[in-house]
Structure 1
Amino acid sequence: MFQAQLPNRGKIHYSRESETVYQWVEQWLKSCPPVPAAVEENVPLWKQAQTKSTVKMPGFSRKVQTKEYTINWRLLTNSGQDEGFIRPVIAAKGFPFYPGSSMKGAFLRVCPKELQGEYCGKEITENGQTKTKPGILRFHGAYPIDMSWGNKDRLVDIIHSQQNRQVEDDFTTTANPQISLYGTTLVFGISSTKHLEPSEWKKIWDIWEKALGIGIGSRVSAGYGHFTETLENTDKVILSVHLCGQGLTSQLLNKIPEFRPNMFKAVLRGHTLRLLGGITDEETAKEKTQQLWGGIDNDTVVGKLVINFIAEELNIGKHTYNPAGRRQVSMSTYDLEAGKLDILYIGNSNQEKTKLKKIVTQIIKFSLLLGGFGKSWRRVDHRIFYPQYFRNNDKPMIGCHWKFREESEDLYLTCAKLDTGNISKFIQDIRQNLINLLELPNVNYVETWREAWHPNKVQVWGRIGKTSEAVEWFHGAYSNNKTIKRTDLTGKINPTKVGRIWHRMYPRYVIKDGNLERTNQYVELLTIFPDDSQNTQEFLQFLNDDKKFIKIFPRG
């Protein structure tokens, strides 16, 4: 489908044109392999043509060595044929295809230097002229093994960057569609110009699996392009974090729920920007964030850090409610009982690797201390901390709750006493730690950003307790009929306005007899980015007078 300047003529750049996106996918699938002879009424084409027995899939010759690998979440490749719309490379008969040239590039990045020339070729000088001497390997790319890739409901992916809206100011953001393969099994092919022993082929496939361990395709840093068979086959992991959590799932354009690992990068990148915005100028903050996590503001910047998430035990459920005067509404939820977040460093400097591990560890601790991941991360899970909110079955689900699992409990900040404990010290010290690690001059901060992490821009209040004291304040009066509900402080839905307060129930850990021990209490934390409104100023005065919460940042 070509691009045009007329509405509904290939204009597939924006989510409001989602019908056109699905039309493009439908036309694409119709041009794929012949539909099986037995055509069922009202059954999507992809379902009719998903078995190997009814569709002749692309194959490699007998001289080509092949291996199959399954995409852990999604794979994104960009044909570059449409401005503003990312669609995959498409081969003969409409099959999505991972190009051999991309395969060779990924292989070369991880191939030992002493083998690069033999396997992939090198430049040589003969008679004063520079020539290219081909290597012995030929990379044939990859195809899906069957037609199950053609799930129209899953092919249309979504990009919805909210960094500007959530960190800097109330920008209007738009969700953009892209096409990516979801959970597909691909067969990769490699051949050699000379006979190789099985031991040599094993060495070659081991190198290729190291490439897959880092990830292939586009947006690898956000969790795309990883494969289930190679998740452990990489030496690039600098930090593994074992997590569990629950909350609301994201949705695709067609409202299908999907647990999307890119939410982890979104939070880590966003907090990096908030922290840097509080210790340096705007240009440096954005530049350093892009160097760490990548970015596409002006020119595409490949970041040094990549995330990959493995959902080991994940359950998808529903929250249904009946709002007054309206029909029943259903919201998809997740309950992640076990998952592992890997942070990979794609460089080769041991010194930089050590420094980045320290930075990432600080940001992970910060993220789990003050919030969560995914939708509604600024609020506590009301099912846990305010169950009476749902008593009449007429309220939507709100919030999330994340914890470190036992394997990563050492990442918890202990809290013996709130006013002198490690939590207060960590919040005080993290700014200086990042200044030292990133070698930044501590001369500036971005005054115009709403959520720059600077003592002049943010306050953190905390208390210790078994239950939440503040959760009811988000839904009613906190004192003498005064309320923060539906104000600029808590945010609004219609019209949408991002709030200026985070609420977190952080599991309280202490050191007892030299060991880390979980208590039955929480550290309740309110992170506030004050504005000049009367509502906000009155609420801050209430916190100060009420004495149930202690101001732990900034101190003094």
Structure 2
Amino acid sequence: MKSIPDAHKKVPMMFRAQVSGRSQLHYIDSNKKKAGEKQDVQLWAEQWIEKAEFVPTEKAQEVETPTYQTKTYQISWRFVTNGGQDDGMIRPVIGAKGIPFYPGSSMKGVFRQACERAERAGELQYGSCKDYCGDESEITPGRLRFEGAYPINDWTQGLVDLVHPQQGWQVKNQQTNSRSSGESAYALVSLDRPTLRFGISSIKPLSPEQWQEIWQVWENAIAVGLGTRVCAGYGHVEAAQSEILYQVRLKGQGQAAKLIDDTGEFRPNIIRGSLRGHALRIFGGLTDANTAEQLVEELFGGVQGQGTAGLLGLGFQTADLKLGIFGQNGYEQPTYNVEGDVIWSLTRPLPDAEKTALQNLVTDLMWFAMVLGGFGKSWRRADHRLFYDNDDYQKLIGCHWQWAQKPDKSHALRVWNPKKVGGFIDSVLETAKVWMQLRGKTPTPNRHADWREAWHPSRVQVWGRIARTRDECVAISWLHEPYQKGISRGERHKSIKATSLTGKIGQIGRLWHRMYPPKVQVVKQDGKPQVKSTNRFIELLTIFPDNSQESTDFLEFLKNQPDGFELLWGEQQP
């Protein structure tokens, strides 16, 4: 009997042993990428959809009978169920005929939690949680059967997703050229904006009022998010947000995230990730590391212990999105130009005082992110395409975000010139302290987290000036050429390029550069202050000093107020 050459290569990836040379779905092989070969996970996905069947939308009509009903919901971004792993790779649950689905058991668990909350709040009128779901021991079965959900649109596009956790590297590590354990990029398989059809049946006929109550409980349940990685922005459902805490329209441009095939994708969860990082910085400057982590997981969710469902839900309604390419000669990078509504909502009820404090906190976090930085890749830098006056420069660095509409006056007047920045930062810290105290945590800024970017005046300095036009951006050139040239023979130029302060490939810097457009300014007219529109910018440098000579020299340089830079917040070192 003849042997089959390379027999293992004829076995589908889904059934191969997860060892090197056979199948490593979680691992991104850089050698295969350089050679233009497909990764194992890409082959896995292609082999899956080749054999899978589909449910066309036109054949998936809604059903409403006294004993069975269905409803359809659109996932706003990506979605992955919590039922399967291969070699550590997160993937959807796959049902009959290869169709991905959301299990009924998961659906029941999410429904029961929301049903119990509704019952405690006295919101159930036509049934009880025990009546609908049974008791926890399952000795007494409930009358409802949860059928789960499956996609009814084309779910086969963009399945292979890249995840790159960086919280330790971005915020905590003192050595910025080293990443924390577990912060390497890895692959997972998720559905891109699927339309899911959910089904619920009853062992006895139900009245229309009962069905309406059941679906209301379900919509309250899915406002928290569905599936896994909810705390990272996955599984959020359009038109299922709970009470809105803060809504604003933004527009921005920058470097798009890359999928495994190098195509670009705008990922709305960059806004959630940014606010999570800033919350960690702010709480890290007000209390110890463990307490700061707990506070952030309460807000945004997390996986510590038994896991935490966050209080904040994020929706992003895209009004306009253009994806493109910038650069040439090997520097080509995908780009986005986007406008949309950011909607922060409350995922479960809170007492009035806590709800008000949380509304103030999420509002201040959004303003903090907008004033001092941006969202997504390279957020620490102003967009070089707008502010770096060098026609030969073809690298894509930085991003630029602005209010798409004139911000409300009460908030806009908090930051309309550099001298307002310090007071604004102090007010954000006070808002965070109020939230901490309502959650039973006492601020201890004298015992703050030992993180690189913990937001404490002994660790960070914010410098700023006014730029009347974008052409008056000054600091961006200091990132590429000496900020001070030696004038005496033998005196060296002083530069921060490619240092620990500014970073380089594989190393995060300790300096943020932002050109913030406040949209308004206050001028005197007939002796009275008047609010006017403006196209000016506040140019800001946020610096987390280290003990390097480059950092010391640069801060000494800033003390001389070059081009009007002033220290706006933080403790100036002697």
Q: By the TM > 0.5 criterion, same fold? A: yes
Per the alignment, residue 92 of structure 1 pairs with 96
Indicate the SS of the match to 1:210: helix
Task: Summarize deviations over 1:369-391 as a string: whole Å, max 9, x none.
Answer: 100000110011122222x32x1
Compared CA separation, residues 527 and 263, structure 1 to 2 (3 A): same
2: distance between equivalents of 1:196 and 1:433?
A: 47
2:249 matches 1:242: yes
Compared CA separation, residues 534 and 521, structure 1 to 2 (3 A): same
2: distance between equivalents of 1:64 and 1:407?
A: 48
1:25 is aligned, of 19, 28, 45, to: 45
Per the alignment, residue 422 of structure 2 pairs with 424
| Pairs within 5 Å for 1:271-290 | 271-290=278-297
Per the alignment, residue 150 of structure 1 pairs with 156
Compared CA separation, residues 145 and 409, structure 1 to 2 (3 A): same
Q: How big is the shift at 1:99?
A: 1.2
| Pairs within 5 Å for 1:117-266 | 117=129, 120-123=132-135, 132-146=139-153, 148-151=154-157, 154-169=158-173, 170=176, 171-172=178-179, 173-198=183-208, 200-228=210-238, 231=239, 233-266=240-273
The more displaced of 438-447 and 546-555 is: 438-447
Indicate the SS of the match to 1:316: strand
Q: Which amino acid aligns with 1:510?
A: Q
2: distance between equivalents of 1:549 and 1:248?
A: 28
User: Does the 8 A contact of 1:281 with 1:444 survive in 2?
Assistant: no
Per the alignment, residue 405 of structure 1 pairs with 404
Indicate the SS of the match to 2:310: coil
User: Does the 8 A contact of 1:222 with 1:306 survive in 2?
Assistant: no
Q: Which amino acid aligns with 1:107?
A: F
Compared CA separation, residues 403 and 58, structure 1 to 2 (3 A): closer
Q: Which amino acid aligns with 1:381?
A: D
Unpaired segments ≥5 residues, structure 2? 1-13, 31-37, 486-492
Per the alignment, residue 127 of structure 1 pairs with none
User: Does the 8 A contact of 2:314 with 2:342 survive in 1?
Assistant: no
2: distance between equivalents of 1:397 and 1:418?
A: 28
Per the alignment, residue 566 of structure 2 pairs with 550
Per the alignment, residue 366 of structure 2 pairs with 364
The more displaced of 459-468 and 504-513 is: 504-513
1: distance between equivalents of 2:242 and 2:190?
A: 27
Per the alignment, residue 521 of structure 2 pairs with 510
Task: Summarize deviations over 1:508-541 as a string: whole Å, max 9, x none.
Answer: 3334677754322111110001111111111111
1: distance between equivalents of 2:273 and 2:283?
A: 15
| Pairs within 5 Å for 1:74-85 | 74-82=78-86, 84-85=88-89
2: distance between equivalents of 1:287 and 1:200?
A: 38
The more displaced of 106-115 and 135-144 is: 106-115
2: distance between equivalents of 1:176 and 1:541?
A: 42
Compared CA separation, residues 10 and 119, structure 1 to 2 (3 A): farther
Q: What number of residue pairs does the alignment pair up?
A: 516
Question: Matched residues, percent identical?
Answer: 41
TM-score when normalising by structure 1:
0.84
2: distance between equivalents of 1:76 and 1:69?
A: 15
User: Does the 8 A contact of 1:215 with 1:224 survive in 2?
Assistant: yes
2:384 is aligned, of 376, 382, 385, to: 382
Compared CA separation, residues 532 and 525, structure 1 to 2 (3 A): same
Task: Summarize deviations over 1:385-409 as a string: whole Å, max 9, x none.
Answer: 22x32x13x5211111111232644
2: distance between equivalents of 1:131 and 1:13?
A: 37
Task: Summarize deviations over 1:398-437 as a string: whole Å, max 9, x none.
Answer: 1111112326444435446533x3x211223433442343
Task: Summarize deviations over 1:225-278 as a string: whole Å, max 9, x none.
Answer: 2233xx2x4433222232111111111122121111121121111111111221
Per the alignment, residue 395 of structure 1 pairs with 394
Q: Which amino acid aligns with 2:89?
A: F
2: distance between equivalents of 1:118 and 1:287?
A: 32
Q: How big is the shift at 1:167?
A: 0.8
2: distance between equivalents of 1:60 and 1:235?
A: 25
Indicate the SS of the match to 2:145: strand
Task: Summarize deviations over 1:139-186 as a string: whole Å, max 9, x none.
Answer: 21111225x2123xx111122111111111133330122111112222
Per the alignment, residue 436 of structure 2 pairs with 438
The more displaced of 271-280 and 342-351 is: 342-351
1:7 is aligned, of 15, 20, 25, to: 20
| Pairs within 5 Å for 1:407-486 | 408-410=407-409, 411-415=411-415, 418-419=418-419, 421=420, 423-439=421-437, 440-446=442-448, 448-466=450-468, 467-480=472-485, 481-486=493-498
User: Does the 8 A contact of 1:428 with 1:554 survive in 2?
Assistant: no
User: Does the 8 A contact of 1:312 with 1:340 survive in 2?
Assistant: no
User: Does the 8 A contact of 2:414 with 2:424 survive in 1?
Assistant: no
Compared CA separation, residues 528 and 107, structure 1 to 2 (3 A): same
Per the alignment, residue 556 of structure 2 pairs with 541
User: Does the 8 A contact of 1:76 with 1:180 survive in 2?
Assistant: yes
Q: How big is the shift at 1:131?
A: 7.7
Compared CA separation, residues 244 and 116, structure 1 to 2 (3 A): farther
Compared CA separation, residues 346 and 256, structure 1 to 2 (3 A): farther
Q: Which amino acid aligns with 1:138?
A: R
User: Does the 8 A contact of 2:280 with 2:293 survive in 1?
Assistant: yes
2: distance between equivalents of 1:288 and 1:272?
A: 9
2: distance between equivalents of 1:206 and 1:297?
A: 30
Task: Summarize deviations over 1:165-213 as a string: whole Å, max 9, x none.
Answer: 1111133330122111112222211222333444543443344333333
Indicate the SS of the match to 2:327: strand
User: Does the 8 A contact of 2:331 with 2:394 survive in 1?
Assistant: no
1:108 is aligned, of 104, 109, 112, to: 112
Compared CA separation, residues 209 and 283, structure 1 to 2 (3 A): closer
Compared CA separation, residues 366 and 276, structure 1 to 2 (3 A): same
2: distance between equivalents of 1:69 and 1:245?
A: 28
2: distance between equivalents of 1:552 and 1:308?
A: 33
2: distance between equivalents of 1:60 and 1:66?
A: 5
Per the alignment, residue 295 of structure 1 pairs with 302
2: distance between equivalents of 1:3 and 1:285?
A: 43
Per the alignment, residue 492 of structure 1 pairs with 504
2: distance between equivalents of 1:107 and 1:120?
A: 10
Indicate the SS of the match to 2:70: strand
Per the alignment, residue 543 of structure 2 pairs with 528
User: Does the 8 A contact of 1:74 with 1:183 survive in 2?
Assistant: yes
Indicate the SS of the match to 2:110: helix
Per the alignment, residue 41 of structure 1 pairs with none
Indicate the SS of the match to 2:267: coil
Compared CA separation, residues 138 and 414, structure 1 to 2 (3 A): same
User: Does the 8 A contact of 2:247 with 2:341 survive in 1?
Assistant: no
The more displaced of 181-190 and 191-200 is: 191-200
The more displaced of 270-279 and 410-419 is: 410-419
Q: How big is the shift at 1:289?
A: 1.7
Per the alignment, residue 268 of structure 1 pairs with 275
| Pairs within 5 Å for 1:63-74 | 64-74=68-78
Unpaired segments ≥5 residues, structure 1? 34-48, 125-129, 323-327
Per the alignment, residue 534 of structure 2 pairs with 519
Indicate the SS of the match to 2:49: helix
Indicate the SS of the match to 2:321: strand
2: distance between equivalents of 1:252 and 1:82?
A: 20
User: Does the 8 A contact of 1:294 with 1:301 survive in 2?
Assistant: yes
